[in-house]
Structure 1
Amino acid sequence: MSRDWQKDMELIKIGETSDIPYCISEFKNMLPYYHQQYAAEKARADKAERREQKLKWGYEIILSYVPIRTRKELGFEGFLPSLYPKEETKP
C-alpha cells in the first residue's frame, strides 16, 4: 500500500472546509499508513545509529593502539571531532 503525500496534504486542507464524515473516513485510511511508515523509518534510523556507534567505538579502539605522535602526524587527532561537532558529543 502506498499513498501520495501531496494528495493527502491537499485533502487535509480541503477537509477544514468540507464534509466531515468523508474526511474522517479518509483520515482512518491515512493514519495507519503513516504510522507504519514512521515505525519503519524509526527502526531504520535506530539501526543506523547503533551501527554508527559500533564503528565509532571500533575506530577509537584501533586508534588507541597508534602512538599519539603518529596520530598527530597522520591527522587522526581531528578526524572524529570533524565527524562529531562539539554540540553532538556533549553528554
Structure 2
Amino acid sequence: MREDDKVLIDFCRQQYREFKVDDWISLSHISEQLKVAALFLKGTTWYKRDQELGMVCYQWGLELKQLPVLVKQYRFDCARFSGMLKKQIQFDGQGFKL
C-alpha cells in the first residue's frame, strides 16, 4: 500500500467511527484524492455517512454526477479504495461483515 493510500484509508476509517465535517474541510487543500473519496463514499450505502458527506461535498461544490470525471482525472481506483477501507473497518470491528 502506498503511503498516501494509507493516510487516506486511515483518515476515512477514523471518520467512519467519529465523523467530523470540520476535519474533512480543513484537509481539503491537501489532496484532491480526499475530495474524490468523499464523493465516492457519499454514493455508497455501506459507509453510512451520506448526510455528513453531503455537507462536505456541498461546501466543496461537488455533486455525485461529477464522480466519473473526477475518478478519471485523479486516477482514483474506487474498487481498490473501497476494498481496503472495508477491510480496515471490519478489522476494527466496526460495522459490517464482508
Higher relative contact order (CA 8 A, sep 6+): 2
> What's the TM-score once normalised by structure 1's chain length?
0.28
* Bigger proportion of residues as helix: 1
> What's the TM-score once normalised by structure 2's chain length?
0.27
> Whose Rg is larger?
1
